[in-house]
Structure 1
Amino acid sequence: MEFAHIALALALMPVIFGIINLRNMARVTGTPGAGTKVSILIPARNEQANIATCLDAALASTGCEVEVVVMDDGSTDRTAEIVRAYAARDGRVRLVAAPSLPPGWTGKVHACARLAEAATGTHFLFIDADVRLAPHAAAAMAAHAAEKNIALISGVPRQEMRTIGEGLTVPFINFLLICYLPFGGRAIQRKPSLAAACGQLILVERRAYEGTGGHTTIKGVLHDAIALARLFRERGHDTEIVDGAPLAVCRMYDGFAHAWGGFIKNAREGMATPIGLPIWTVLLAGAHLWPWALLPGWEAAITVLLMFALRAAVTIRTGEPWWTVPLHPLTVLVALAIQWTALVRSALGLKAGWKGRAYTATKGA
């Protein structure tokens, strides 16, 4: 039963990290001081299905002054038309068109850089077009940033999932962040390699953003959120992950194929490296998959129960659907399959594609 002991030992790490991070992840509240203005910045490419609800939520923000700037990034649908209609009746909304994508840039990073140039706020809140902010979100994040002197704050919105394919993929984001990242991205630890952020919801202080060069400094990356958080820490600024579930809601993908493509796009700048992925495979498979082959041994049974209990705790805290919990072993299996596929594709020289563009993943420029 030596293998079962190893599996149980591998399971203890995420349990310990999970308990600590669930206990200490901040839930932000409050309103910022006078003079605070949050620019809500939305890159949008063919988002006609989402942009109206996104704008409605952003414009319902309370607690501080806001403006909403949307960049139409080469849309071929009604995205720009919808935003123009909002701008005509609410002066807080502006539509800007993205210039042609320069060589060496990825699309979303370029759009975010240009949005920051157009913004007039003291803080920039970058959100995706499928995100719906809670009314207090912008003010609470800006207040937390000011109170704690944190230059970048991010959180994972509460994830809506309506299909099995989404349930097999999306929950791995929160599980990995909470159960495998030491300190959970909190500002108590300033090491750049332990920085984290979610691109769906990132607030930055304007002066710090401009001082680091912002998205211009990371123009070639696909996973812009992590790259931005690491950049801020490298330049001496604090960054922090907070509880995003009360701040926003997002339906990230609309099925398995969409989710697979989205996670493949970002994998090569995360886990899917020749050195890192074998280690991650041992850590994840050893704790979450291996014990199933060792049942009915008591060590394996305890490990399985621990992993389900941990996943349930993360699910409750993040507001994810309860029915995704029984899928947990398959979620880990699918996550590893995505990472290994991304690594093999990279070795073969295949590019990652997203919204009609193809990219070769880089570490930035």
Structure 2
Amino acid sequence: MLAIIALLLAAGPLLLALSNFRFYVAPPVAAGWQAVSVLIPARNEEATIGAACAAVLANRGVTLELIVLDDHSTDRTREILAGIDDPRLKVASAPPLPPGWSGKQHACAHLATLARHDLMVFVDADVRLAPDALSRMAGFMQRNDVGLASGFPRQIVRTWSEVLLLPLIHFLLLGFLPMALMRRSVNPAFGAGCGQLFIARRAAYLRAGGHAAIRASLHDGIKLPRAFRAAGIPTGLFDATDIAACRMYTNAHSLWEGLTKNATEGMATIKALPIWTGILAGGQILPPIVLVMEPGVASAGAVAASIGLRLLLARRLRQSIVSALLHPVGVAALLVVQWAALVRHALGVPATWRGRAYTVQ
């Protein structure tokens, strides 16, 4: 019986991901010359901001302006920006953070008021865009009637904690979000994105309330698409593997801080997490256990479905094969992070990021 349960729970994400592969594709190059405002919030980004700006300014096929908002940095961020000699770059200073706002949402909201072009690309300072990235993102907006779209960059992983956890972003996206329904509906429940990379039409952004609609959020990847959908505006997703790369975290501490910060606005809620635990533990952790306990067709099929999906994702999205083979360990680690975040939230411990503390409502 355990083997059959494990097989069913493992097969579901595999089948859904195979269906989603039809929709989750790289965007095409835009037809014609497009104008794009690239907006980067920067708080203590001395290690990344120079390379981020260089990658943006190397883009071809578009008319672009790059606006970087220095969000009260205390390192060399402003000095590095001052050393970039390109008239397309504008550096601005963030106003004081108002009560009730998270730092990133406030920075992005202010950046939107400075942008001149209709297409606005919000990109994190640790993302490196390919030279054709902006043209292809604009091409996606040309071919799709959406107000907001998001791409999931290729995640660069080096430490063991990154190898185990970060590729699960795509596993959860492709294995549990029905993209066919997402494309046919503006239901906020189907809203998803990656906070590292968004492109929005100005009119749709204003209609949805922009980042002001999610001012207290720490997880814009989920909250911003849902705000657009709540306003009746469709959102979209594209595969950014070949047009953007990101080293999101550089050590286990920053990874823990970042993932627990986002968790309570995602699966780590008192209602959702027990369900997610059952689904993920049953379909992704249980299969190798039952294969040892009850060798047979069902248990072998469960292992093949769970690990097989990760191997497919690794090949398609240029992910670590080691991460795929250690998939049950990675899912177990993910659940530990989610439960720790839920307990911390229940105890009233604030989330921290970039030297700021936030209490998630």
TM class by smaller structure: over 0.9
- 1:290 is paired with a residue whose SS is helix
> What is the CA-CA distance between 1:343 and the residue it aligns to?
0.5
Per the alignment, in what secondary structure is the counterpart of residue 21 of structure 2? helix
**Paired residues of 1:32 and 1:64 also in contact (CA < 8 A):** no
Q: Does 1:98 align with 2:94?
A: yes
Equivalent position SS for 1:165? helix
1:228 and 1:293 map into 2 onto residues whose CA distance is 39
Aligned residue for 1:156, secondary structure, equals strand
Indicate conservation of the 8 Å contact 1:185/1:195, yes or no.
Answer: no
CA gap of 1:355–1:172, structure 2 versus 1, over 3 A, is: same
Partner of 1:133: 129
**Cα distance, 1:188 vs structure 2:** 3.4
Aligned equivalent of 1:327 = 326
1:238-290: per-residue Cα shift (whole Å, max 9, x none)? 11111110120111111222111100000000000111000000000001111
Q: Does the 8 Å CA contact 1:122/1:206 hold for their aligned counterparts? A: yes
Contact 2:30 2:142 in 1 (8 A): no
Moved more, 255-264 or 196-205: 255-264
1:165 partnered with 2:161? yes
Cα distance, 1:184 vs structure 2: 7.2
Partner residue of 1:279 out of 259, 275, 278: 275
Q: Distance in 1 between matches of 2:125 and 2:182?
A: 26
When the two structures are superposed, what TM-score results if normalisation uses the length of structure 2?
A: 0.96
Q: In structure 1, what residue type is equivalent to 2:77?
A: T
How many angstroms apart in 2 are the aligned matches of 1:184 and 1:80?
44
Determine if contact 2:7/2:305 at 8 Å carries over to the other structure: no
Aligned position for 2:10:
11
- Give the whole-Å Cα distance in 2 for the aligned partners of 1:184 and 1:245: 21
Q: Which 5+ residue runs of structure 2 have no aligned equivalent?
A: none
Determine the structure 2 residue equivalent to 1:355. 354
- Which one is further off, 322-331 or 126-135? 322-331
Report how many aligned residue pairs link the two structures: 358
- Once residues 194 and 322 of structure 2 are traced to their aligned partners in structure 1, the CA distance between those partners, rounded to angstroms, is 23
How do residues 341-352 of structure 1 correspond to structure 2 at under 5 angstroms?
A: 341-352=340-351
Q: CA deviation at 1:147?
A: 2.2
Would the alpha carbon gap of residues 212 and 24 (structure 1) be closer, same or farther in structure 2, given more than 3 Å must change?
A: closer
Report the Cα distance in structure 1 between the residues aligned to 2:213 and 2:290, rounded to whole angstroms. Answer: 48
Determine helix, strand or coil for the equivalent of 2:255. helix
TM-score, L = length of structure 1: 0.95
* Partner of residue 257, structure 2: 261
1:41 matched residue in structure 2: 39
- How large is the RMSD of aligned CA atoms in angstroms? 1.3
Partner of 1:236: 232
Cα distance in 2, alignment partners of residues 155 and 230 from structure 1: 16
Counterparts in 2 of 1:271 and 1:133: CA distance versus 1, 3 Å? same
Counterpart of 1:316 in structure 2 is 315
Percent identity (aligned): 44
Evaluate the alpha carbon distance shift between residue 186 and residue 318 of structure 1 in structure 2; reply closer, same or farther with a 3 A threshold.
Answer: farther
Quote the Cα distance in structure 1 between the aligned partners of 2:254 and 2:94: 24
Q: CA deviation at 1:25?
A: 1.1
Residues 142-221 of structure 1 mapped to structure 2, 5 A cutoff: 142-183=138-179, 186-221=182-217
CA distance in 2: counterparts of 1:136 and 1:188, whole angstroms: 29
Q: Give per-residue Cα distances to partners, 1:41-89, cap 9 Å, x unaligned.
A: 1011111111111011100111111111101111111101111221xx2
Distance 1:239 1:39 in 2: 19
CA distance in 2, matches of 1:316, 1:217: 37
Q: Does 1:291 align with 2:322?
A: no
Q: Which consecutive aligned stretches of 4+ in structure 1 deviate over 2 angstroms post-superposition?
A: 184-190
> Residue 42 of structure 2 aligns to which amino acid in structure 1?
A
- 2: CA distance, partners of 1:182 / 1:105: 32
Which residue in the other structure is 1:62 paired with? 60
Farther off after superposition, 302-311 or 266-275 = 302-311
- The CA distance in 1 between the partners of 2:15 and 2:156, in whole Å, is 27
Amino acid at match of 2:330: T
Pick one of 73, 76, 84 that aligns with 1:75. 73
